Chains A and B, each alone.
Chain A
């Protein structure tokens, strides 16, 4: 198939970027979206041009680094799919595909399609952990976790921190991300110990870093490649208000 790509080019964080259009011929419908970009970059390099910078690592949907806004949607048109898992058969021959970086004040562009998602790390550092004295692993059955909690924790833990929820939200809110982390850790006896301080710190950090508030539009849930549900946000709200009422 032959396609046209309209890609955001920005040499560095300080410069003003713009869109460039590249025709690309003989694209295989079996290619992943990132392979298609590799293919484009090969031809750009051959022509002596600067290749398009994009972030990627695992290329199997588990690292969360490959986020980009494709044809008006985070990670492209396919439901519950990261960009690396997206195949070119989802597009039509002759189609113009627009590729933009995540747009959010909290995620500034570093280069081309790469944004700085450090804000997520800062939120995690503010409370997304369990403090334990690491030693020898203890017996697996010494702390019992009900199956229901284990399942919910597992669902929430599948968040890969890609930032699609922020990119999709009209308020650039990080609520889905935080709610996944808070719900995940709140399910375990070990996690309950710091549950209140965790939720307060993570929400405060989110507000401080310039993410917006939640308007419950459900755009995050619709675009999350891991299917994180906004029921996590309801749980986050519960945890937050209960913790805050005691202050």
Chain B
């Protein structure tokens, strides 16, 4: 008998006529939790990957495209799950409380979505996880974006490259008011390894899109021909 990775409740294997004679595949999460984690359904925004009522770009993306500072940094983001309250809870436990193992409950949908969006379209894929600052990394003991990239790497033929580093967050921590402004101006990333082939940025959540844009911008400026992104939640 296994336990649900999210709610710890016992999972009773469902025996039906179709799986009666097959070895039972152990479920990682219970059916109630699974139901509370729906995946994004088309149509999706062509820019940020959020759910839409019709095809095209969402209002946010259109705004970004008119921003003089950002209009030359086009982004194409794909995500797996909508960032709804239950997903927020699970990600909080995973990332901030540090329950590393929760990543397993995303595996199936993550790999499936990755294959649909990327696998068949391009030949060689390079994944670049969004880095954490060193202090953060020590505090959390793992980088959630790197964990996602490695999970894909373990199952699908892709390369994971740590092309970026993140500056210390000490300065921006001190004042919350100016943080938003500073975020827009200062790029938190520096290039660690130049990329000459297209890359896919990997992160856990796409919220405002600022992080992905900064990373895309610096990669393009340093000679990377194309940057797309893939996040767990949107």
* B and A form one assembly: no
